[in-house]
Structure 1
Amino acid sequence: MRTKSKLLITVASLFLVLAFYPASRPAFAQAEGDKIYLGQLNKLQSEILNEERIILVYTPTGYEQSETKYPVMYLLDGTYHFHHVTGIVDFLTREGRISNMIVVALVNTDRTRDFSPTRDISNRGSRFETAGGAENFLEFFEKELIPYVNKHYRTKDYRILVGHSFGGLFTVNALLSRPEMFDAYVAISPTFWWDDNYLARKARPFFKQSPDLRKFLYISMGNEGQLMTESAERFTLLLESEAPEGLVWHYDFMGDEDHGSTPHLTIYKALEDLYDGWELPPGLLDSTVAAVHEHFLKLSNRFGYEIDVPEAVLNMMGYTALGQENFDKAIKIFKLNVKKYPNSANVYDSLGEGYEAMGEFELARENYALAVEKGEIIADPNLPIYKQHLENMQDKLGLQ
């Protein structure tokens, strides 16, 4: 089937409930009384934190119908950011601008405790009585949360950490404390002022001791007052003068935004910056499979894990060739997609359409039948379309 991408949002085994969102923010989109599920709710009992933690998990469209592994975004303040962030990820993925990914969002219990690296005894920080638990929270990530996610989901060894405000403070502290844990960091309106610019003091010796550091860091700041902006600028000056060459960083001052409006815009821009060059160059879909493979090989070298040519890209290449009536090329590409993604129903349906365009109706029928067979096994949401293609072809062959 010709698809830019499939539009089904992952059906949850445990759906998100309204109680986890502020009353003014709906947890579901509604369509004629039917709920659209946004993700999965899991509960994890933490021995390190001595409490139960709730995590919300988004998996990419088609996750259940494939065996593909994905990078993971870990998102702090999950209650407030899960809905809009997964929307950004889904949109940019469908547009071919970023990689598919899993999003794991943590629901807060005591965010001050978990996100702050020290006890701030200044006038500004002394009111935060439970502060200072960030290292313990990192321990929870390393020894409980990440292993849990890796065990229950198909993950690549590439992780992104995203945090806002105190979460941004935690995100940068994670880079400075345990840089091996994540590969990319997005710190939105971080409270760099904490404990008399503690992170700036911590960063200077860390940078000197880490000349081979290769990470990605995106920092944003809105028009948020002197304390916030000056502390962010101080950290940025430190990055300019002392950050290792392998640390790819970007500071974005959003003068038209405030503390509450920076997250959505930041995450969109940060993901585009992180995945700059991911999108297929113009004309490449009309090129050869070898050229497309070379594109993804370069991305593999850059990100440090194997990135195969996605099923959707090969599908689009096949239909591009089909539209040019280059039937041999189209069939060759569709067959390659079947070989690489044999558990997908759509690859057989596309191959069937290729054969139908060539007038090879029996081969088309065989592949439409395989698409229906696979679609029934994996509960493919496009199964009705596959069945219609098979029925139409059987009519053409007089087999009804």
Structure 2
Amino acid sequence: MIRKPFFTFLPLCFAAWTLCAAQDPVVGQPTPLTFAQRVTFESKVLDETRTFDIFLPESFHEASPDHTYPVVLLLEGEFFLPVAGAVRHLGSVERMPDSIVVSIPTFTDNYYAPNYYLNGSNFWPKEWERFSFDGPAEKFTAFFRRELFPYLKKHYRANRHRTIIGTSATAAYVFHAFCREPGLFKAHVAIAAGDFLGMGYEPGKTLIDEMVRSMEKEPERDAILYVASTKSDAVWAPEIETNLAQLHQKLAPYGTKKLTYISELVDDPGHYDIVLPSFLKVVEMMYPKARWSVNFQELEKKKGNALQHIDAHYRALSQDLGFTVLPKADRWNSGDCLRSSGTRLLRQGRVEEAIQVLRRWTGYRPHSPKAHMALAKALKVAERFKEAISTQKKAVALAKQRDAAHLDKYQELLNSLTGKAKAHH
């Protein structure tokens, strides 16, 4: 037999591959992914139309009215995507509470902050005597107090735990809020802003001095302050490093349990590169991992009622943070939530405790067919068939709207419960 060289088949193989490659796969119309809202706001306080973007937790529309949310306010729209993405991820893995992120564009809209005296700053043009903005800081303050915050509370269940983030020039209002508007925000974050510390409301007087005076007036003030710049900025303007060190030193007497602060020079070379790393540091300041992370299994092992131990933990956490923190109803790929806790308790034969925990899950997620079905299964084990059937009927009704692809499973359990109830009698 004569063997043909392998390469003689290559043209045919290549032709066949070319033909396959040339045929595009059949695809449907691309669907945009929506994760945020843009709101247009007719402000009477500012006498202008403002726009702002809002990110809401994924569970927002499913959660009960008992759930309220902290607010992260960005004064730079450029950083809305990375910060909202970080908040979404950290909330899903229970590293921080589910939160609302709001960004206010400042490059296209007016920005209101004090026209600070530069006091010889090397970071800005030498001919500038003052840093000029579009109007007084009081306009932003009134806008936040009288319009934006009430709007967020009414429409999005926002609570009073607020963080404000400014970068570079937009940090000007952040410093003003810390100095002159205590209580308006819990956390004040000024990134790439060490140069501002040497500026002041009056010539020769710095914001460092003003911040110290603010703490002298209210030494027990409950607040968080984070100020940072990069080493590359300090090369450009050496006073930045001095400013940051001086702030750290002068706030030291006020660094109590209530005032938490960081004033640092970081290695990242880019002026704006530190936004996301800085935000992650602020998260740890606000929600220390050692205090925030909850091991539900450890709470279940304690002597007594599991749900009571879970509630006690979150009451203490709420007391520390100043707003109501509720146990996570459900979590992606985690055992530290009510869903997983109820399932474990049921497997351990702690049926009544499981029912309590799963009933709380349905209370927190009243529109979840999975929550109602889980509760119905626990009630079935307890042979409380009438209540189990009523609960599973709710699950079936909800599944028709929200989980139609698995409707047969919901109906199957309802049929089983009905049969068990008849046999039991």
Q: Same fold (TM over 0.5)?
A: yes
Matched, 1:154 2:157: yes
Q: Secondary structure at the match of 2:221?
A: coil
Q: Secondary structure at the match of 1:40?
A: strand
Matched, 1:315 2:339: yes
Residue number in structure 2 paired with 1:390: 410
Residue number among 171, 175, 180 corresponding to 1:177 in the alignment: 180
Is the 1:117–1:131 contact (alpha carbons within 8 Å) kept by the matching residues of 2?
no
Is the 2:71–2:158 contact (alpha carbons within 8 Å) kept by the matching residues of 1?
no
Residue number in structure 2 paired with 1:247: 259
Kindly report which structure 2 residues correspond to 1:1-400, keeping only aligned pairs within 5 A, or say none: 33-66=30-63, 67-109=65-107, 113-118=111-116, 120=118, 123-124=125-126, 125-126=128-129, 129-130=132-133, 133-193=136-196, 196=199, 198-226=206-234, 227=237, 228-241=240-253, 246-276=258-288, 277-281=291-295, 283-284=297-298, 286-287=300-301, 288-312=306-330, 313-324=337-348, 326-339=350-363, 342-354=366-378, 366-374=390-398, 380=402, 383-384=403-404, 387-393=407-413
Cα displacement string for residues 263-314 of structure 1 (whole angstroms, at most 9, x for unaligned residues): 1111122113211112104733534111111111111111223333342332
Is the 1:77–1:108 contact (alpha carbons within 8 Å) kept by the matching residues of 2?
yes
Corresponding pairs, count: 365
Is the 1:315–1:334 contact (alpha carbons within 8 Å) kept by the matching residues of 2?
yes
The structural deviation recorded for 1:149 is 1.7
The separation in 2 between residues aligned to 1:195 and 1:112, in whole angstroms, is 24
The separation in 2 between residues aligned to 1:327 and 1:243, in whole angstroms, is 48
Is the 1:192–1:235 contact (alpha carbons within 8 Å) kept by the matching residues of 2?
no
Q: Secondary structure at the match of 2:272?
A: coil
Is the 1:163–1:186 contact (alpha carbons within 8 Å) kept by the matching residues of 2?
yes
The structural deviation recorded for 1:57 is 1.0
The separation in 2 between residues aligned to 1:133 and 1:108, in whole angstroms, is 15
**What amino acid is aligned across from residue 138 of structure 2 in structure 1?**
E
The structural deviation recorded for 1:365 is 5.9
Is the 1:98–1:278 contact (alpha carbons within 8 Å) kept by the matching residues of 2?
yes
Greater C-alpha Rg: 2
The separation in 1 between residues aligned to 2:74 and 2:363, in whole angstroms, is 39
Instruction: Provide closer, same or farther for how the CA distance between residues 131 and 338 of structure 1 changes in structure 2, counting only shifts above 3 A.
Output: closer
The separation in 2 between residues aligned to 1:130 and 1:121, in whole angstroms, is 17
Instruction: Provide closer, same or farther for how the CA distance between residues 134 and 117 of structure 1 changes in structure 2, counting only shifts above 3 A.
Output: farther
Q: Secondary structure at the match of 2:159?
A: strand
The separation in 2 between residues aligned to 1:73 and 1:332, in whole angstroms, is 31
Instruction: Provide closer, same or farther for how the CA distance between residues 390 and 78 of structure 1 changes in structure 2, counting only shifts above 3 A.
Output: farther
The separation in 2 between residues aligned to 1:214 and 1:130, in whole angstroms, is 29
Instruction: Provide closer, same or farther for how the CA distance between residues 187 and 331 of structure 1 changes in structure 2, counting only shifts above 3 A.
Output: same
Is the 1:365–1:390 contact (alpha carbons within 8 Å) kept by the matching residues of 2?
no
Instruction: Provide closer, same or farther for how the CA distance between residues 49 and 340 of structure 1 changes in structure 2, counting only shifts above 3 A.
Output: closer
In the superposition, the TM-score normalised over structure 1's length comes to: 0.79
**What amino acid is aligned across from residue 173 of structure 2 in structure 1?**
F
The separation in 2 between residues aligned to 1:394 and 1:346, in whole angstroms, is 13
Cα displacement string for residues 15-70 of structure 1 (whole angstroms, at most 9, x for unaligned residues): xxxxxxxxxxxxxxxx9722111111111122332321111111111211222332
Is the 2:245–2:264 contact (alpha carbons within 8 Å) kept by the matching residues of 1?
no
The separation in 2 between residues aligned to 1:64 and 1:213, in whole angstroms, is 34
The structural deviation recorded for 1:387 is 2.1
**What amino acid is aligned across from residue 102 of structure 1 in structure 2?**
I
Is the 2:54–2:102 contact (alpha carbons within 8 Å) kept by the matching residues of 1?
yes
**What amino acid is aligned across from residue 171 of structure 1 in structure 2?**
V
Is the 2:369–2:398 contact (alpha carbons within 8 Å) kept by the matching residues of 1?
yes
Q: Secondary structure at the match of 2:357?
A: helix
The separation in 2 between residues aligned to 1:121 and 1:112, in whole angstroms, is 25
**What amino acid is aligned across from residue 292 of structure 1 in structure 2?**
I
Residue number in structure 2 paired with 1:27: none
What percentage of aligned pairs have identical amino acids?
A: 20
The structural deviation recorded for 1:199 is 1.3
Q: Secondary structure at the match of 2:77?
A: helix
The separation in 1 between residues aligned to 2:297 and 2:418, in whole angstroms, is 41
The separation in 1 between residues aligned to 2:57 and 2:358, in whole angstroms, is 22
Q: Secondary structure at the match of 1:130?
A: coil
The structural deviation recorded for 1:181 is 0.9
**What amino acid is aligned across from residue 49 of structure 1 in structure 2?**
L
Instruction: Provide closer, same or farther for how the CA distance between residues 384 and 272 of structure 1 changes in structure 2, counting only shifts above 3 A.
Output: farther
Between 1:188-197 and 1:262-271, the stretch displaced more is: 188-197
The structural deviation recorded for 1:366 is 4.7
Residue number in structure 1 paired with 2:11: none
Instruction: Provide closer, same or farther for how the CA distance between residues 128 and 249 of structure 1 changes in structure 2, counting only shifts above 3 A.
Output: closer
The structural deviation recorded for 1:137 is 1.8
**What amino acid is aligned across from residue 309 of structure 1 in structure 2?**
P
The separation in 2 between residues aligned to 1:170 and 1:255, in whole angstroms, is 25
